[in-house]
Amino acid sequence: MKRVLIYHYLPSSMNLKQERKYFDHIMINTVWETTKIPKRWLSNLNRVDSVFVPSTQNKQALRNSGVSVPIFIVPHGVDTVRYIPSNKKLRLPNSNGRFVFVSVFGFQHRKNPEALLRAYWEEFSASDKVLLVIKTNGYAKYENEKWIKMQIERYKRKLGIRKKTAPVSVIGRHLHTEQHKGIYTMGQAFVLPTRGEGVGLPFLESLASGVPVIATGWGGHMDFLTSKNSFFVKYKLKSPAISMNSKHAIARRFRGLFVQKGQRWAEPEISSLKKQMRFAYKNPDLCKSKGRQGRQDMLQYSWDRAGLLMKQAVEKVISKQ
């Protein structure tokens, strides 16, 4: 019987020489968010039998970085039984009668919280019946809900915004499962102007919940987002260092990962983001239509399918050796 290792940790952390003593075949299952992987990953990636990635963008990034072993696209899935359009909506005091934009992300620079906030504040006034709900989290103990709200308020002052704006509700604490599911269904549209995603799990969960997506038109999520279930934000590929060094940067940067020579990611255009958010707000029926299509699309993205595709990839690797 063949012994197979599918390694799910950072490629650079694997002791390949040691693992070869115990396994006949070694594969790495990984994910990345920019146009090139970290240099320290390359050696191990080119010494295993194959690499599994979840998206077309990831495969291109690995090839651009010099990975020469076979690469298989093994998409992620979404639980379409847990995330459904009929899930009980999370209720917030100021949400009644408003068009609700929902966003779910970790409070880091790659997710681009500053562009989301700036576009929303500049495009919508207190007279617009809208609400932006942000479910987020920090990466250190001090990066709690209070700290995140302080960062957001500080950024608003830095932008010189003094007038009363459309409301923003920030949830930076843990929610139990039912509440988390209800975050998506309370929205008429999900919005995240991300700079880069290997997959974009919240996009999958939103569409499975019947809620359309407003997203940057570049990244791993483009394997399952379409013009029939989403609204796309225009972008330009730029060095991560540019935005990280900008006065607009308000969240954890992870510079060691993303500011390496040759790396680029998407920088969404604020004007395009504002336009798409306004368009969604003005066209609630279209949002419902795109949401219904998204739900149907996600029924094809089960975890069973993901497991089957990985099984088939493993069998191909074994059969060729």
pLDDT along the chain (321 residues), means of 10: 94 97 97 97 98 98 98 97 97 93 98 98 96 98 98 96 92 95 98 98 98 98 98 98 96 95 97 98 98 98 96 94 64
Beta-strand relationship, 265-268 and 235-238: antiparallel
Contact by Cβ (8 Å): 161, 123: no
What is the rounded CA–CA span in Å between residue 317 and residue 154? 52
What is the rounded CA–CA span in Å between residue 191 and residue 189? 6
Burial group, residue 93, by CB count within 10 angstroms (0-12, 13-18, 19+) = exposed
pLDDT for 57 equals 98
What is the rounded CA–CA span in Å between residue 134 and residue 208? 19
Contact by Cβ (8 Å): 54, 198: yes
Buried b (16+ CB within 10 A) or exposed e, 31-43: bbbbbbbbeebbe
What is the rounded CA–CA span in Å between residue 253 and residue 318? 40
Q: Which residues contact 256 (CB under 8 A, 6 or more apart)?
A: none
Rounded to the nearest 10 degrees, the angle between the axes of helix 270-282 and helix 113-123 is 60
What does each C-alpha distance from 41 to 10, 26, 105, 257, 279 come to in angstroms?
A: 8, 15, 25, 11, 42
pLDDT for 43 equals 97
The distance of Cα 21 from the centroid of its chain, to the nearest Å, equals 37
Phi, psi of 210 (to 5 degrees): 80, 20
pLDDT for 124 equals 96
Pure H helices in the chain: 16-20, 42-45, 56-64, 113-123, 145-158, 177-185, 201-208, 240-244, 255-258, 270-282, 284-298, 303-319
pLDDT for 321 equals 64
